[in-house]
Structure formats: C-alpha cells, structure tokens
Amino acid sequence: MNKATTLLRQPWGLGRATERLPEAALPYTTTSLDPASQLTVFYDGRGGIVDMGKGSTNRAYATITKSRPGDGSQNAPNVADDSNNDVERD
Amino acid sequence: MRSTKDAIVVITSPEDVTANLVIASLNERGACVARVDPADVGSGLTFGARLGGERASWSGRLRTTSRDIALEEVRAVYYRRPSPWRFETLEAQARDFAITEARHGLHGLITNLPNCRYVNNPGNISRSDYKPAQLQIAAQLGFAIPETLITNDLEAAKEFAIEHDPIVYKSFRGIPHKIEGKVATIWTQRVDSGDLDESIAVTAHMFQAEIPKHSDARVTVVGSHVFASQITSPEGMLDWRSGDWEALAHTPIRVPSSVVARLHAYLYSFGLAFGCFDFALEETEGGVEPYRWVFIECNPNGQWGWLPDAEAIADAFAHTLLEGYTV
C-alpha cells in the first residue's frame, strides 16, 4: 500500500467504534433559571416541572445517557459518561 | 439584589443537573451563588474589568440576568461544563473571531481572578486531561498501571500485542459527531494482533495490556473527601460503560491508605482539587489487601451525579468551595 492510500483511510481506532448508540428522549423540553436560588428548573412539554434532583432517575439520565437527540439545539451532549470529544470543548 | 460579597461562581450550562446539586448544597449553607454561562456573553452577560494604576489585580463587574458580581470579591469558582460558544447569528469569520476573543478575554479573565479558589482551574483540567501525562504521573507516584504503548507504528503495535496478549485498545477521547449529531463511541476493547493494520499509521493509538480484573472502582476525590464505589457488571464487562447501567452494582469499598495518599499526591501534582479516578481491581492471593488497585485514568472534570454518593459528593464540593481544604 502506498502512502497516499494510507492517508485516505480512516484511522484504525475509528474503525473500532460502535454503531450509533440508541437515542434516548430528553426527560425535559425547556429550562429556566430561578433567579433567587440560581438553580435550573426543568419543564416538560406541558409546562410541568420535571424532577431532576435528589432521588430522581432523570438525574442519572443527565449524567450517563449515551446518546442525546442531535438537532444541535442541545448543549454539549454527555457521551457515555466522561469521554468527551475535544470538538465540543471550549 | 443581595450582596454578592464572597460569591461562589458556578460556571456551567443551564442543562447541568450536577451543578444543581452543588448549588443546592451551597444554598443550604447560606452561600451567595452566581450561575454563569460564558456563552451568554452579549445581552445575557456583560462584564468589565480594570488593571493598572492603583490596581495590581483585576477588579470590575460581571453581570448576568440575575446577579451583579464584583470580580475581586469572588471567593471561589466551581468550573463545571459551560455551553459551547454560540454567536450563531454571525457569519463564519466573525464568529471565529468572536469566539477566540471571548475565550481569551472573558474565559481568560474569569479563570484568573485574584484571591479565588478554583475547583478545578480549567488550565489544570486541560493539562491533566492528557492520558500520557496522567499515566506518567501515576507511574511516578507508585500506582500500578497497565503496560501501555502509544504509537502510530504498526510493527510496534503488533510486537506489543504479542508480548502482552491479551491487549486492549482505548481511544484518548470520544468521537466527534457526524451523522445528524448522533453519538457513537469507542469502548475499551480487546484487540488481537491480527486485527491491526496499516491504518494505525494515520494517527496516535493507545494499547494496554489487559488487566485480569475482578471488578472496577470509581473513586471521586473532592478536596480532602474521598468517595469510592466498587462497580461490578453482570458479565464482568471489559468496559463497564458499555452495557446496561441498570444492571451495574455499585457498592461502597474501602480504599487502601497507600492508594488514598497517592490520589491526593496525584491531584496536587496537577493543581487539582477534584478528580474522578478509575481503577481496575485485580484479586490478590494472600495479601493484606483483597485487591491490587490498577490506575486506569483520572478525569479532572468527570461526571459523578449518578453515583450512590452523589448527595454527599455535592456537599463535599460546597464545603471545599467555601472553606478550601487541607489534605
């Protein structure tokens, strides 16, 4: 194999990737900042408050979910816990 | 608007549930908290800071929609996960310019406040994010680490695979998004020497001797506080992140004192107050300790919100931000 061909191929490591991970729906649709407490409040599509705090399974979603809806409107998705890619980083 | 003297500034995105836990704990302690997302720069975030003349350190104001903070009175910064810069209305060149200038001028300012404690300082996060740095410091501190090869040389990789069979491949970072922004990932996985080919040459690859592990441990260190969970997966998975999270068992585990000392030394060497450590636990025979703790990595800005200890970890953050710590 000549050098040019090698350069055109994808890196070996990228070939070890999984298929796209299963998509999970966000447990909330909008957020707002509570000015007094500086806590983010999470709302569902009907304007109800979604519990993302103590004892909520939704919190686990936010910190471990492997794949987020990717319409570009969401902030930096968490990719399988900790393995961020640098493109998302400041 | 209440006084923001001794404010604790939490730098993160609105969606950050984990920051909410820490903010709630700070509120319970009566702290003045200011949640700041630098990506709001513009009408949602204005700032001005001066240096020179009588001033030997930056002073000025940082205003969000709900806080007006004196920069010189910020006691601590909790640096979590700010949003990516936006500037969506700008054309490409203007956007790139705005991002770079904001990174240097705003991010550069809020990461260099006088008399301010950082958990963690983002400069130190960046430095300690590199696995070559992590593994070398870990080895020098006396942690057990897996035999490791970083290379783009096929022959070196093959030689390593044969010498240390079985080996695993581990990417340094996640995969940039491609298809409709959906996420793929590379789990740590076993590699046979026959799987390797010339495309190793394209970029850097990391291979490690596989640790015959019994289970994993996640150790979260916040200031002087140490929280440890042993993580057991039903099938004894190589990478516990890859399976069903519901099926993982988290149980408290005692961290040997020699390991604790090294955890603190590790964070100190990078100037960090917080780190999420991953260990592979290898069973020992007849030793004093039931496991050999093999250092895998330390994420200086890792997730911990799903752990059973999350509430206590949030309290440890609040305590460390307000009071500092000594180890």
Which pLDDT score, from 0 to 100, does residue B134 have? 98
Q: Which of A23, A38, A80 sits opposite B23 (nearest CB)?
A: A38
Is A21–B18 a contact, with Cβ atoms under 8 angstroms apart? Answer: no
Domain count, chain B: 3
| B253 touching chain A per CB within 8 A | no
Is position B139 within any domain? no
Instruction: Report the amino acid identity of residue B81.
Output: R
Q: Is the pLDDT of residue A6 over 50?
A: no
In a domain, B236, yes or no: yes
Chain A touched by B78 (CB under 8 Å): no
Query: Quick check: is B169 in a domain?
Result: yes
What pLDDT does residue A46 have? 92
Q: Is a pLDDT exceeding 50 seen at residue A80?
A: no
Q: Which domain holds residue B281?
A: 212-323
Q: How far is B7 from chain A (nearest CA, A)?
A: 12
Alpha-carbon gap: A58 to the closest alpha carbon of chain B (Å): 9
Predicted confidence at residue A87, as pLDDT, reads 46
CATH of the domain at B83: 3.40.50
With contact defined as beta carbons under 8 Å apart, do B77 and B116 qualify?
yes
The residues, any chain, with a CB within 8 Å of residue B72's CB and separated by 6 or more, are: B57, B58, B59, B60, B113, B114, B115
User: Which among B14, B173, B185 has the least Cβ separation from residue A17?
Assistant: B185
pLDDT of residue B178: 63
Which of B20, B79, B191, B301 best probes binding to A when mutated, by most A CB atoms within 10 angstroms?
B20
Sheet containing B7-11, strands listed edge to edge, beginning at the edge strand earlier in sequence: B33-36, B7-11, B74-79, B117-119
Q: What is the pLDDT of residue B82?
A: 93
Q: Which of B83, B102, B119 is the last residue of a domain?
A: B119
Instruction: Tell me: do B199 and B247 sit in the same domain.
Output: no
pLDDT at A69 over 60: no
What's the pLDDT band for A77 if we cut at 50, 70, 90?
Answer: very low
Domain end point (choices B164, B183, B209): B209
Calculate the average pLDDT of chain A.
Answer: 68
**Domain match, B16 and B113 both:** yes
- What pLDDT, on the 0 to 100 scale, is given for residue B165? 95
Are B189 and B226 within one domain? no
Residue A14 at interface with chain B, using a CB cutoff of 8 Å: yes
User: What pLDDT score does A63 carry?
Assistant: 63
Nearest-by-Cβ selection for B181 from A18, A19, A72:
A72
Last residue of a domain, one of B209, B231, B257: B209
d(CA A77, CA A68): 6
Is residue B12 domain-shared with residue B110, that is, in the same domain? Answer: yes
* Same domain for B225 and B204: no
Same domain (yes/no): B191, B282: no
Q: In this structure, are B91 and B26 located in the same domain? A: yes
In angstroms, the CA B182 to CA A23 distance is 8
Binary contact (A40, B14; C-beta < 8 A)? yes
Provide the CATH number for the domain around residue B257.
3.30.470.20
A44 contacts A28 by C-beta, under 8 angstroms: yes
Q: What is the pTM of this model?
A: 0.90
Interface of B with A in 82-101 (CB under 8 A): 82-85
> What are the structure tokens assigned to B218, written together?
């996640």
pLDDT at B239: 80
Query: B224-265 pLDDT, tens per residue?
Result: 999 999 999 877 777 877 777 777 889 999 999 999 999 999
SS3 A32: strand
Comparing A26-35, A72-81, B126-135, the range with the smallest average pLDDT is A72-81
Is residue B89 domain-resident? Answer: yes
B84 part of a folded domain = yes
In this model, does residue A64 exceed pLDDT 70?
no
Say yes or no: A8 contacts chain B, CB-CB below 8 A.
no
Q: Is B187 helix (H, G, I), strand (E, B) or coil?
A: coil
**Which ipTM value was assigned to this complex?**
0.89
Establish if B140 belongs to a structural domain: no
Q: With bands split at pLDDT 50, 70 and 90, how would you rate the model's confidence at A83? A: very low
Cβ contacts below 8 Å, chain A against chain B, sum to 183
Distance CA B231, CA B215 (A): 6
The answer to whether the CB atoms of B299 and A82 lie below 8 A apart is yes
The answer to the question of residue B59 being in a domain is yes
Regions of chain B with pLDDT less than 50: none
Chain A residues in contact with B150 (beta carbon < 8 A) = none
Q: Does B268 touch chain A (CB under 8 A)?
A: no
Q: Is residue B312 part of a domain?
A: yes
Query: Are B80 and B181 within one domain?
Result: no
Residue A73 has pLDDT above 60, yes or no: no
pLDDT at A68 over 50: no
Query: What pLDDT does B288 receive?
Result: 87
Q: B287 exposed, middle or buried (CB, 10 Å; 0-12, 13-18, 19+)?
A: exposed
